């Protein structure tokens, strides 16, 4: 066997021959001031070097910690219920942290309520414009409709509140989606922190100090809540008005089926003393453009200290190309399919929501990066599906291939489940088990129980893979 021999540096090498000593050796004729400056520069360089070393060590520690945690990716089209499922995870495993944020969600939920009011006003205004440009089918047929003067009075009465809402959105969310009443913000905007609460996004809550609201910001939030309370009766009357309901139905604006709907709870929510319930928080709507990773450290006795990294990726069509970088790191994917067969995408009204989910599903199943990944389907919004079917909507009108299959909840759910299962079997790079659940993510009792079961299954599957490796 050959031996590797290291040639030691000759003991006779002089200091002048050492290539590194020049940077340390004081220059000739150095003044005292220059010596002090050189010493200070050396100390600064050593400090920077230590900081870099510490940063690298911390990065390695976090990467090792993340590698040992459970990494879950939430996928699905926009408004499929991903954020609601995420909040159920938080409620199930980090309930104390979840409930500390009630104050944050009070403002968001009250903004959600006002957004629904703005949607109604926009629909009524559009309806008036249509009537002005279209002759009535019969004399007096428009006589009972909301007239333009009544809408103007409503706008005038709500104008202080709407103005306050604009300022509040600017303060909290920096930007909102143009042309949409929905609260929309870029990833990493730390909107919870802006309300004085630590954010669990990207790092644990203990790692981030919340911002402190100024007196003027606190006053703005308080005034908004009081103005909303003062407008409670007007909002309630608007929502309960039969003509308003008829107009919304004619325009196929189904507010109850939309995220962030709270108009049925006006009396409770439009109050300066309102405190959100767990259910309210799960139903609260803030759309994130981009992605957010949530680091959860379990508080539950059964999984105390277990760590989960859940990434919520925007489902907007323009954002889907950014999904791929997350695939390589995911141990499990929760894919959400909202079974709202009569709805179209906001981004493209020609595309049916369920068919769009099926297209996404095919791509996920066929992706070789996910060949070893557990993929679990949540057929979500079952509560809305039941309501749609009860209204008399026929599935075959929107999905012709449904044919003469019974127009009942169980049959509809089975039909779509069979379609997704067939593509899962056909397109997966190698055989894997098809796992699916029927969910209503805003039903916190059933969904929190479900996510515990799902996470237990993911943990067991990963342990089995580790043993096999």
Joined together, the tokens standing for residue 223 give: 């005034």
Chunked mean pLDDT (size 10), the chain, 469 residues: 44 49 67 85 87 77 69 91 93 90 89 94 83 57 60 86 85 53 53 55 42 74 92 93 91 91 96 94 85 86 84 78 76 94 90 95 93 93 96 95 96 98 96 94 92 87 64
pLDDT tens track for 11-35: 444 545 545 445 566 777 888 888 8
Helix (H) or strand (E) run with residue 216 in it:
helix 215-230
Under 8 Å between Cβ of 283 and 262 = yes
pLDDT tens track for 332-357: 999 999 999 999 998 888 999 999 99
CA angle in degrees (0–180, nearest 5) for 435-326-468: 55
Give the pLDDT confidence score for residue 15 in this predicted structure: 44
Is 468 annotated in a binding site? The answer is: no
Give the pLDDT confidence score for residue 152 in this predicted structure: 83
Name 51's Cβ contacts closer than 8 Å, sequence gap at least 6.
Answer: none
Specify whether domain 69-94+298-468 bears CATH 3.40.50.300: yes
Write the CA distances from 88 to 94, 191, 219, 380, 443, integer angstroms. Answer: 10, 20, 32, 13, 9
Instruction: Tell which residue, 200, 237, 197, has the closest CA to residue 221.
Output: 197
**Which sequence spans correspond to the domains of the chain?**
69-94+298-468, 100-134+144-197+210-283
In angstroms, the CA 124 to CA 447 distance is 36
Largest Cα separation within the chain, whole Å, is: 114
Is 382 annotated in a binding site? The answer is: yes
In angstroms, the CA 128 to CA 150 distance is 11
In angstroms, the CA 316 to CA 356 distance is 11
Give the pLDDT confidence score for residue 66 in this predicted structure: 63
Give the pLDDT confidence score for residue 55 in this predicted structure: 79
Is 362 annotated in a binding site? The answer is: no
Give the pLDDT confidence score for residue 398 in this predicted structure: 95
Handedness of CA 179, 184, 186, 191 (dihedral sign): positive
Give the pLDDT confidence score for residue 203 in this predicted structure: 42
Whether pTM > 0.85 for this model: the answer is no
CA angle in degrees (0–180, nearest 5) for 345-350-352: 55
Give the pLDDT confidence score for residue 155 in this predicted structure: 84
Q: How many CB atoms lie within 10 A of CB 335?
A: 23
Give the pLDDT confidence score for residue 129 in this predicted structure: 67
Joined together, the tokens standing for residue 228 give: 């909303």
């Amino acid at each position: 066997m050959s031996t590797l021999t290291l040639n030691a540096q000759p003991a006779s090498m002089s200091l002048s021959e050492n290539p590194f000593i020049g940077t340390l050796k004081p220059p000739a004729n150095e003044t005292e001031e220059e010596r002090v400056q050189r010493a200070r520069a050396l100390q600064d360089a050593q400090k920077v070097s230590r900081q870099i070393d510490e940063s690298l060590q911390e990065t390695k520690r976090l990467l090792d910690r993340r590698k040992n945690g459970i990494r879950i990716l939430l996928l699905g089209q926009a408004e499929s219920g991903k954020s609601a499922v995420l909040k159920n995870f938080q409620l199930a495993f980090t309930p104390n942290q979840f409930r500390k944020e009630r104050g944050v969600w009070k403002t968001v939920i009250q903004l959600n309520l006002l957004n629904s009011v703005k949607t109604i006003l926009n629909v009524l205004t559009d309806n008036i414009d249509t009537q002005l440009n279209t002759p009535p089918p019969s004399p007096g047929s428009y006589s009972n409709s909301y007239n333009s003067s009544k809408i103007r009075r409503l706008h005038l009465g709500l104008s202080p509140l709407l103005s306050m809402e604009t300022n509040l959105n600017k303060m909290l969310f920096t930007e909102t989606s143009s042309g949409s009443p929905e609260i929309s913000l870029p990833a990493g905007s730390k909107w919870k922190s802006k309300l004085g609460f630590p954010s669990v996004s990207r790092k644990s809550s203990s790692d981030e100090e919340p911002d402190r609201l100024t007196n003027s910001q606190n006053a703005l939030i308080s005034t908004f809540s009081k103005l909303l309370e003062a407008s409670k009766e007007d909002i309630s009357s608007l929502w309960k008005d039969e003509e308003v309901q008829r107009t919304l139905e004619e325009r196929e604006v189904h507010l109850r089926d939309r995220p962030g709907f709270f108009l049925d709870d006006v009396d409770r929510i439009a109050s300066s003393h309102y405190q959100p319930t767990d259910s309210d928080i799960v139903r609260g709507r803030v759309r994130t453009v981009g992605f957010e990773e949530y680091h959860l450290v379990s508080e539950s006795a059964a999984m105390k200290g277990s760590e989960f990294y859940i990434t919520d990726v925007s489902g907007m069509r323009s954002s889907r190309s950014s999904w791929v970088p997350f695939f390589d790191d995911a141990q499990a994917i929760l894919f959400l399919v909202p079974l709202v067969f009569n709805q179209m995408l906001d981004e493209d009204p020609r595309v049916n929501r369920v068919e769009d989910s099926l297209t996404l599903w095919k791509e996920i199943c066929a992706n070789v990066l996910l060949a070893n990944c557990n993929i679990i389907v949540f057929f979500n919004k079952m509560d809305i599906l039941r309501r749609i079917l009860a209204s008399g909507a026929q599935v075959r009108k929107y999905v012709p291939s449904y044919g003469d299959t019974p127009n009942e909840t169980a049959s509809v759910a089975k039909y779509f489940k069979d379609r997704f299962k067939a593509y899962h079997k056909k397109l997966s790079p190698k055989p894997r088990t098809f796992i699916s659940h029927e969910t209503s993510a805003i039903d916190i009792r059933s969904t929190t129980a479900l996510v515990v079961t799902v996470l237990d299954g993911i943990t067991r599957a990963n342990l089995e893979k580790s043993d096999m490796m």
